[in-house]
């Protein structure tokens, strides 16, 4: 976790940096009534960087840049290219089939791009006179943070305003024997030097399905183990169609199953034991890699939030905030995935961060609007949506007040290549009474992200 400190221009038009040495080798403690910085941001991800620019274990950029959206989308693109190569002969290109895929070359290219983004963020912070500390931060009191560097050296930083933007980390099923020792998460998959080989993906989240999708797409034997329902929180008709498309294009699914044990065999392979949740029957399989994608947890446990008086949800450990991103402590704020009830999306964290800093230092009163935020799941056939799912619309307004318009379609690029378009589908969930307000739009097909963001403007 990174900490960034900003000294914003005061009435004198000059930046004020105040750092004092104190006994014991700890630097940065503030004298009573005098603090080091105007603003301290804990977290170097999308939201934290947006705050710091407006006014880790990996490089700067957080989950999205290092182990999330960016490498995921690039590996998704690699898989889509594989499909286009298969289409190419239909369009007159003489391509010898099959075309092998080189994981090492792809991974190196993706990782080099990520590193370039890390460097870009460092340069931008420097240009904006933001002091960057690569430290693990925890609260000492409501205005002071203690940071520990890699070598163990401590520094105390104090600020008038503190923004927590530490995001979340993948959850490990620590109750399962061998899960921690032999499994990996999305924090690891994008930085593997060698191909993961035959892979078991455990989970039904968008992370699980996206990873399974691009692994299948580049030619790897991939199985997804789902205990209950896929894409919980998304429209379930659309979720089912996502699964149908993946299954028909090579991804294998174990439905209604839960893993109980992972062991390493003498030949190096991993033996996974699982149980059928309906019958109780036990089964096993061997894999090269086991990828846990069973959800995320907020990165709050090491922050010592109780020392600052910041309240969290007893169920999720996420930070509780009001509509102005304010916590239970007046000058401490939180944005992004670490916050209870907020969408776990990079663009919302960025916009929330910018608006917050503009309110704090720019005289603005604009609040972040969290309604009708579009999102896309980058499965092989992409699923984009904005607004309510059909289930949410019915729960909120009643079945008799909801009308659903829907259509199957065939993308033009699918025609010549003879691609199956049976899951290309769009539906609008509307109020039945005129003027039939659109409550939600759901699109399954190529380039869903680009399509959905256009419709999102109309729905807003």
Residues 112 and 187 in one domain: no
The answer to whether residue 202 sits within a structural domain is yes
210 is annotated as contributing to ligand binding: yes
Residues 276 and 347 in one domain: no
CATH (domain of 62): 3.50.50.60
**268: containing domain:** 179-294
Q: What percentage of the chain has pLDDT greater than the value 90?
A: 83
53 is annotated as contributing to ligand binding: no
The answer to whether residue 19 sits within a structural domain is no
Q: Is the pLDDT of residue 242 over 50?
A: yes
Q: What is the pLDDT of residues 75-133, one digit of tens each?
A: 999 999 999 999 999 999 999 988 999 999 999 999 999 999 989 988 998 888 889 99
Q: What is the pLDDT of residues 369-424, one digit of tens each?
A: 999 999 999 999 999 999 999 999 999 999 999 999 999 999 999 999 999 999 99
The average pLDDT across 425-450 equals 97
pLDDT for the residue numbered 75 = 97
The domain tally of the chain equals 3
Residues 79 and 122 in one domain: yes
Give dist(CA 136, CA 332) in Å, integer: 18
29 is annotated as contributing to ligand binding: no
Residue 163 binned pLDDT confidence (cut-offs 50, 70, 90): very high
204 is annotated as contributing to ligand binding: yes
The answer to whether residue 20 sits within a structural domain is no
SS3 content of the chain, % helix, strand, coil (to 5): 35, 25, 40
Tell me the backbone φ, ψ of residue 120, rounded to 5 degrees. -60, -40
337 is annotated as contributing to ligand binding: yes
pLDDT for the residue numbered 389 = 98
Q: Answer with the one of 263, 294, 325 that is the final residue of a domain.
A: 294
Give dist(CA 275, CA 289) in Å, integer: 19
Residues 432 and 304 in one domain: no
Residues 240 and 263 in one domain: yes
Count of alpha carbons within 13 Å of 24, Cβ hemisphere only?
7
The answer to whether residue 440 sits within a structural domain is yes
Residue 59 binned pLDDT confidence (cut-offs 50, 70, 90): low
Sheet containing strand 183-184, strands side by side: 183-184, 289-292, 199-202, 222-226, 252-255
pLDDT for the residue numbered 54 = 63
The answer to whether residue 428 sits within a structural domain is yes
73 is annotated as contributing to ligand binding: yes
Q: Model pTM?
A: 0.92
Q: Is the N-terminal amide bond of 219 cis, ω within 30° of 0?
A: no
**Least confidently predicted of 1-5, 137-141, 346-350, 438-442:** 1-5
433 is annotated as contributing to ligand binding: no
The answer to whether residue 21 sits within a structural domain is no
Q: What is the pLDDT of residues 190-207, one digit of tens each?
A: 999 999 999 999 999 999
The average pLDDT across 254-277 equals 98
Q: What is the pLDDT of residues 338-359, one digit of tens each?
A: 999 999 999 999 999 999 999 9
pLDDT for the residue numbered 5 = 59
Alpha-carbon torsion (453, 395, 317, 183), positive or negative? negative
Residues 186 and 270 in one domain: yes
Q: Answer with the one of 273, 294, 315 that is the final residue of a domain.
A: 294
Q: Answer with the one of 239, 260, 294 that is the final residue of a domain.
A: 294
């Amino acid at each position: 976790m990174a900490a960034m400190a900003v000294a914003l221009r005061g009435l004198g038009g000059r930046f004020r940096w105040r750092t004092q040495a104190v006994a014991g080798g700890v630097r940065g403690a503030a004298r009573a009534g005098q603090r080091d910085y105007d603003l301290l941001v804990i977290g170097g991800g999308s939201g934290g960087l947006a705050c710091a620019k407006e006014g880790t274990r990996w490089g700067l950029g957080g989950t999205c840049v290092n182990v999330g959206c960016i490498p995921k989308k690039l590996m998704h693109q690699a898989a889509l290219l594989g499909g286009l190569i298969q289409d190419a002969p239909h369009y007159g290109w003489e391509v010898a089939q099959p075309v092998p895929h080189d994981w090492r070359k792809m991974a190196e290219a993706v990782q080099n791009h990520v590193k370039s983004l890390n460097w870009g963020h460092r340069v931008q912070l420097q240009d904006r006179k933001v002091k960057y500390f690569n430290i693990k931060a925890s609260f000492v009191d409501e205005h002071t943070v203690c940071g520990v560097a890699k070598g163990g050296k401590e520094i105390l930083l104090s600020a008038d305003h503190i923004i927590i933007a530490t995001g979340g980390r993948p959850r490990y099923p620590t109750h399962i024997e061998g899960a921690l020792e032999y499994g990996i998460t999305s924090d690891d998959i994008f930085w593997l030097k060698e191909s993961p080989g035959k892979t078991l993906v455990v989970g039904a989240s968008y992370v699980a399905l996206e990873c399974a999708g691009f692994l299948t797409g580049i030619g790897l034997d991939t199985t997804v183990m789902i205990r209950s329902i896929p894409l919980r929180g998304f429209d379930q008709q659309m979720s089912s169609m996502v699964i149908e498309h993946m299954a028909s294009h090579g991804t294998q699914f174990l439905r209604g199953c839960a893993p109980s044990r992972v062991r390493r065999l003498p030949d190096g392979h991993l033996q996974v034991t699982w149980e059928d949740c309906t019958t109780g029957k036990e089964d096993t399989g061997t894999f090269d890699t086991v990828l846990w994608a069973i959800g995320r947890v907020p990165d709050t446990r090491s922050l010592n939030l109780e020392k600052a008086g910041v309240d969290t949800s007893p169920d999720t450990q996420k930070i509780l905030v009001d509509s102005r991103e304010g916590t239970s402590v007046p000058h401490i704020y939180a944005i992004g995935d670490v916050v209870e009830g907020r969408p776990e999306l990079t663009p919302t964290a960025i916009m929330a961060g910018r608006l917050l800093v503009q309110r704090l230092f720019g005289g603005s009163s604009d609040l972040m609007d969290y309604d009708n935020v579009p999102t896309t799941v980058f499965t092989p056939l992409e699923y984009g949506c904005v607004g309510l799912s059909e289930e949410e619309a019915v729960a909120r307004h009643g079945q008799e007040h909801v009308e659903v318009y829907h259509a199957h379609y065939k993308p033009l690029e699918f025609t010549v290549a003879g691609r199956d378009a049976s899951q290309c589908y769009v539906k609008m969930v509307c109020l039945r009474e005129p003027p039939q307000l659109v409550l939600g739009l759901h699109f399954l097909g190529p380039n869903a992200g680009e399509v959905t963001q256009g419709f999102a403007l109309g729905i807003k």
